[in-house]
């Protein structure tokens, strides 16, 4: 009778070891890459097949606060309902109106885990992101020119070598020359101010164009 507690202890230890063998601890790979998209959004991507697992029953942004803190993103969570974006995952807007998207994938162990996180900020911040991330891009505004020709307050000029130059605003991408024109670009005339001394004419944008071409060097 006195041996039963010892037998129970041994049995318990054996069960624990059996569980560890059957269900080994998850070796989570928390490494991620960070980039800025052509539109100025921040993208954090987990390329590993053992990326961090997503919490179960996600209903509000606070459920993903741990993931965002891991990425160094503070102030994006809260008691905000999340909605699934196209392609799976979750999305919501914070108090500033910035859109946060968390995309999911299935990891090698069968768990739903993080594929990538996208931060889509306001228009000015997107332009500043591009300016900081791309050596062939430059943020320009009315303060940089004697006569600012555009109806927007600021924009990013960029060169795609050898000589395709564009101007990006918070609302679209505009070609500054023929080489910069693609199926995704808009006509720059749409955002040119009316010339103050020539009724019906638009402001010339030569100085901005030449500054954009200088980025090709």
Q: Is the pTM of this model over 0.75?
A: yes
In this structure, what is the dihedral angle of CA atoms 119, 123, 129, 131, given to the nearest 10 degrees?
A: 160
Is residue 193 within 8 A of residue 149, CB to CB? The reply is yes
Residues 114, 52 contacting (CB under 8 angstroms): yes
User: In the 8-state DSSP scheme, what is residue 214?
Assistant: H
What's the pLDDT score for residue 22? 43
Distance between CA atoms of residues 53 and 106, nearest Å: 9
Both tokens assigned to 113: 């885990």
Note the pLDDT tens digit of each residue in 36-87: 999 999 999 999 999 999 998 899 999 999 999 999 998 888 889 998 766 6
Parallel, antiparallel, or unpaired for β 172-175 and 186-187? parallel
| Phi/psi at 138 (5° precision) | -150, 130
What sign for the dihedral angle of Cα 204, 207, 210, 214?
negative
In the block, which residue shows the tokens 């590993």? Answer: 48
Neighbours of 206 (CB within 10 A): 9
pLDDT number for residue 24: 55
Give the pLDDT of residue 65: 93
Q: What is the pLDDT of residue 199?
A: 87
Residues of the chain scoring pLDDT < 50: 1-23
Taking the domains of the chain in order of start, what are their residue ranges?
Answer: 27-121, 124-214
Burial of 110 (0-12, 13-18, 19+ CB in 10 A): exposed
- Count of C-beta atoms within a 10 Å radius of residue 122: 14
Compute the half-sphere exposure of residue 22: CA atoms within 13 Å on the CB side of its CA.
6
Q: Output 91-94 pairs: Cβ under 8 A, ≥24 positions apart.
A: 92/60, 92/61, 94/61
């Amino acid at each position: 009778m006195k041996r039963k507690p010892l037998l129970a202890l041994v049995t318990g230890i054996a069960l624990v070891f059996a569980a560890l063998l059957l269900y080994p601890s998850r070796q989570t790979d928390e490494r991620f890459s960070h980039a800025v998209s052509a539109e100025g959004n921040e993208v954090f991507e987990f390329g590993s097949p053992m990326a961090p697992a997503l919490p179960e029953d996600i209903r509000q942004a606070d459920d993903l606060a741990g993931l965002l803190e891991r990425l160094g993103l503070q102030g994006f969570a809260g008691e905000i309902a999340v909605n699934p974006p196209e392609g799976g995952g979750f999305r919501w807007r914070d108090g500033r109106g910035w859109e946060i998207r968390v995309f999911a994938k299935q990891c090698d162990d069968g768990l739903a885990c993080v594929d990538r996180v996208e931060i889509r900020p306001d228009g000015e911040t997107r332009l500043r992101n591009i300016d900081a991330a791309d050596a062939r891009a430059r943020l320009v505004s009315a303060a940089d020119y004697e006569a600012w020709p555009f109806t927007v307050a600021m924009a990013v000029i960029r060169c795609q070598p050898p000589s395709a130059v564009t101007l990006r605003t918070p609302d679209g991408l505009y070609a500054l020359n023929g080489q910069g024109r693609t199926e995704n670009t808009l006509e720059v005339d749409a955002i040119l101010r009316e010339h103050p001394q020539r009724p019906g004419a638009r402001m010339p944008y030569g100085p901005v164009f030449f500054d954009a071409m200088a980025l090709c060097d």
